[in-house]
């Protein structure tokens, strides 16, 4: 989606890890807003979106002073205690504007100068491969989590038409793994997929996280319910894939290809 761009100078960039991210000391969001505009995104129901009163995906704020602020805040935080960072919880750090702005890349450079104890990078964008050179330098202190909700691109187009194609994401997962970067494939939220999905992933990655609307939207599925996502499932006669137990369809399939120490459910898959 083409988004209106705004440049901002926030007072802070590291936020305390709370709720779903309570396993982290901080969360880090280079941008506010996300032009991938996924229909099911729980951020649509959060204050950052609701107070804006504009369609989610139609605007993106660039936190242009973020690298300078991060350098100061990171040093201060590390002087006090262990620092673990989740990037990002309410935006995609590698959404299209990152091609031009390179803001996320600059934040990685800052963190390499004063490394956190652990950095979790959550994205659904193939652009992350651009920064393989930097990510490799974190060694075991980083994990890249590539969202891949389904292996069926027609399903991806129905639920998130502005998000990157499935095959492009699969290719990047393989590139990250081959580069020696700790990587997981994150089926979150689960969307209808084929029985071949786990086999396909087992050939390229060895860590899987499965999450759904009910465990992962921070409200037991209430935020997702207010978005009317269940109706989208009904449009395609996919009701069996929507509900608090639907994740078991995917989980049971993946158990045939991944061991217990490779397969994680919801919050455990995102922890440091």
pLDDT tens-digit map of 243-257 = 999 999 999 999 999
Look up the pTM and report it.
0.95
What tokens were used for 104?
A: 């996320």
For tokens 């590291």, name the residue: 14
Percent of the chain scoring above 70 in pLDDT = 100
**What structural domains and CATH numbers belong to the chain?**
4-269 (3.80.30.30)
Render the burial of 104-115: b for 16+ CB within 10 Å, e for the rest.
bbbbbbbbeeeb
Strand partners for 121? 87, 144
Contact, 66 vs 30, CB < 8 A? yes
Q: Each residue of 80-131: pLDDT tens digit? A: 999 999 999 999 999 999 999 999 999 999 999 999 999 999 999 999 999 9
Average the pLDDT over 224-246 and give the result: 92
């Amino acid at each position: 989606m083409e988004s209106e761009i705004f440049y901002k100078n926030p007072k802070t960039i590291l936020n305390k890890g709370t709720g779903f991210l309570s396993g982290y000391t901080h969360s880090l969001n280079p941008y506010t807003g996300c032009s991938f505009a996924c229909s099911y995104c729980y951020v649509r129901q959060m204050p950052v979106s609701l107070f804006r009163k504009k369609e989610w995906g139609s605007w993106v704020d660039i936190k242009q002073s973020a690298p300078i602020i991060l350098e100061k805040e990171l040093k201060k935080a590390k002087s006090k205690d262990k620092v673990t960072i989740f990037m990002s919880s309410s935006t995609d750090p590698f959404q299209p504007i990152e091609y031009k702005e390179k803001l996320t890349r600059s934040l990685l450079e800052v963190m390499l100068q004063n490394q956190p104890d652990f950095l979790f990078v959550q994205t659904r964008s193939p652009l992350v491969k651009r920064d393989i050179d930097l990510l490799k330098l974190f060694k075991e202190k980083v994990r890249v989590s590539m969202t891949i909700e389904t292996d069926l691109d027609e399903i991806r187009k129905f639920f998130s038409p502005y998000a990157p194609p499935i095959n492009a994401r699969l290719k990047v997962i393989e590139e990250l793994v081959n580069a020696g970067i700790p990587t997981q494939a994150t089926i979150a939220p689960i969307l209808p997929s084929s029985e071949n999905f786990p086999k396909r992933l087992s050939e390229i990655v060895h860590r899987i996280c499965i999450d759904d609307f009910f465990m992962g939207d921070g409200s037991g599925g209430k935020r997702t319910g207010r978005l009317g996502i269940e109706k989208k499932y009904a449009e395609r006669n996919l009701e069996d894939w929507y509900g608090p137990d639907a994740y078991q369809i995917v989980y049971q399939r993946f158990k045939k290809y991944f061991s217990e120490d490779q397969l994680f459910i919801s919050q455990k898959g995102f922890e440091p």
